Amino acid sequence: MTETTDAPETPETAKLGRRNERILMWAVGAYIVILSALMLVRGVSITPDVLLVAFGLAAVLLGRGRLFLRDWIPFIGLFFAYELMRGYADNIGLAVHVTDVLALERTLFFGNLPTQVLQDALHPATGPDVLASVATVFYFLHFPLPIAVGFFLWLRRRRVYYDFVAALILLAMAGFVTYVLLPVAPPWWAAEHGYLPGPDGLPAIAYLKAQGFDQLAGLFGFQGNYIYSYTVYDINPNQVAAFPSLHAGFPFLGFLFARRAFGRVGWVLLAYSVCVWFSIVYLADHYVVDIIGGLLYASAAYWAVIHAPGWFRRAVDDAADDELEAGVEAVEAGDRGALARLGRRIRWTIVAQGLVVAALGGALAYWMNTTGGLGGGSTALYLLPWLAILGGLWRSAAGLLSR
C-alpha cells in the first residue's frame, strides 16, 4: 500500500482557493444580513447572545464547532461580565456630571446643542419619524456588530481575532473604570431631570428611541409579541454611563481591525460607524463629546494591543495556540484534515471542573440577588460569583481541544 501525499499547490489551485475564500466570506456576510433582517422583521431582539447561537451553528456547518467553543467561550464570558460591571459602576455613589458636560458640548458647537439642532430640524412635530426608526435599528446593532466583525476575523484572520478580542476587552474595562470615576448623564437624562428646559418649560429635546421602536413594531406587526433578551441591554443597566460612548467606540474599533485585516473592504465599517454616531446623537442617547471620548478610547486600545510589550504579545500568542493556528491555516489552504491530525481531544475532566465552578458561581449570584445575602448585587462582593463563572467557563474551554 503506497503512502499518499498532498499534491503541490499550483497557480490554478491557488486561484480556486482565493475564489472559494471570497465565496465563503460573501456567504457568511449574506447569512448575517439575512439573519438580522429576519430577526428585525419578526420582532426578535438583535442581541449578541442570540447572534452568538447563530454564529455557533454556522461554525458547526463549517466543521469548526469545537474550535468555535474553544476560542469564543472566554470572549463571550468577558463580554457579558463587562455588562454586569458597567451596571455596578453607578453603585459607588459619586456625583453625576450633567451641567459641566452640557457646557463643554455647547462650547464645542458655539452655544448649540447638536441633539437639539438635529431634532428641531428633522423630527416632525406630528406623525411618524422614519429617521427615529432607522436610528433605533443602528442603536440596537451596536453590540452585535463587534461580534460579527470578530466572527469574520476568526474565520479568515484568526490571529488578528485574538488581538481584536484583547483590544475589545481593554476598551470595555477602560470604559468601566471611567464610569466608576466619572459618571456622566446622557442628554435624555438631563432633559428628563430639568436641565434642558425649552421656552414652554417642557424638555427641549425628546428621547426618540421609544418612538422609533414603537414605529418598527407597528410596521412589522410585533406589538406585544416582541421576543427580547435582557442578557445584554438590561442585565444591570447604568443610566449615567454616557462617557465614553462605547456605542461609538465598539464599531470604530471594529473598523480599525477590519481595515488592518481586510484592507479597503474595512472602510465600509467606517461608514457604518458614522451612521451609528449620528443615530445616538439624534435619539438623545449621547453627546458628541461622548462620541469623541469613545473614538479616543478605541484608538488607544487598538494602539496598546498592536504595540504591546513582548510579554503581552506572548500571552496572546499562547491563547491563540500556534499549533492550532497552523492547523487552521492548513485547512484554509485546502488540507481539510489538518485540524483532525493534530490529535486534540476533549478532556472531560477539565471541562467538568470548569462547569462545576461556573455552576457554583451562578448559584451564588442567584442567592445574592434573591436574598440580599453578602450585600446582594450592590456591593463589590457581587463580582466574586461572576469571576467564578468566568473562570469556570475559561477552564471548560481549555479542555475542548486539549493536547
402 bridge partner residues: 345
Judge if 149 and 51 occupy the same domain. yes
Tell the burial category of 226 from Cβ atoms under 10 Å away from its Cβ (0-12, 13-18, 19+).
middle
With a cut of 50, say whether residue 69 has pLDDT above it.
yes
Query: Would 313 be classed as within a structural domain?
Result: no
Question: What single letter denotes the amino acid at residue 8?
Answer: P
Judge if 135 and 278 occupy the same domain. yes
Q: What letter would DSSP give residue 9?
A: P
Alpha carbon distance 245, 255 (integer Å):
16
Q: What letter would DSSP give residue 103?
A: H
> How many domains are contained in the chain?
2
Whether 31 contacts 62, CB under 8 Å: no
Query: Would 340 be classed as within a structural domain?
Result: no
Question: What single letter denotes the amino acid at residue 162?
Answer: Y
Query: Would 327 be classed as within a structural domain?
Result: no
Judge if 151 and 28 occupy the same domain. yes
Q: Considering only 37-41, 101-105, 142-146, 225-229, which range has the smallest mean pLDDT?
A: 225-229
Judge if 136 and 237 occupy the same domain. yes
Alpha carbon distance 386, 264 (integer Å):
40
Whether 114 contacts 262, CB under 8 Å: no
- The per-residue pLDDT for range 278-330, each reduced to its tens digit, is 999 999 989 999 999 999 999 999 999 988 888 877 877 777 766 676 666 66
Alpha carbon distance 211, 45 (integer Å):
16
Query: Would 336 be classed as within a structural domain?
Result: no
Judge if 29 and 163 occupy the same domain. yes
Query: Would 39 be classed as within a structural domain?
Result: yes
Alpha carbon distance 219, 376 (integer Å):
41
The C-alpha cell that represents 172 in the structure block: 470595555
Where among 279, 307, 335 does a domain terminate? 307
Judge if 44 and 163 occupy the same domain. yes
224 confidence band (pLDDT: 50, 70, 90): low
DSSP-assigned letters across all residues of 184-214 = B--HHHHHHTTSSB-TTSSBSS---HHHHHH
Query: Would 314 be classed as within a structural domain?
Result: no
DSSP-assigned letters across all residues of 268-317 = HHHHHHHHHHHHHHHTTS--HHHHHHHHHHHHHHHHHHHT--HHHHHHHH
The confidence score (pLDDT) of residue 223 equals: 60
Judge if 183 and 283 occupy the same domain. yes
Query: Would 331 be classed as within a structural domain?
Result: no
What residue numbers bound the domain in which 56 lies? Answer: 12-307
Whether 247 contacts 276, CB under 8 Å: yes
Where among 283, 307, 331 does a domain terminate? 307
The C-alpha cell that represents 175 in the structure block: 470604559
Query: Would 402 be classed as within a structural domain?
Result: yes
Q: What letter would DSSP give residue 236?
A: S
Judge if 136 and 194 occupy the same domain. yes
- The per-residue pLDDT for range 105-142, each reduced to its tens digit, is 999 999 899 999 999 899 888 878 888 888 888 887 77
The C-alpha cell that represents 133 in the structure block: 426608526
- The per-residue pLDDT for range 150-191, each reduced to its tens digit, is 888 888 888 888 889 889 888 888 888 888 788 888 998 888
Judge if 300 and 211 occupy the same domain. yes
Across all residues in the chain, what is the average pLDDT? Answer: 77
Judge if 290 and 373 occupy the same domain. no
The confidence score (pLDDT) of residue 227 equals: 52
Where among 253, 280, 307 does a domain terminate? 307
Judge if 148 and 16 occupy the same domain. yes
Judge if 292 and 361 occupy the same domain. no
- Sign of the Cα pseudo-torsion (288, 168, 182, 238, in order): positive
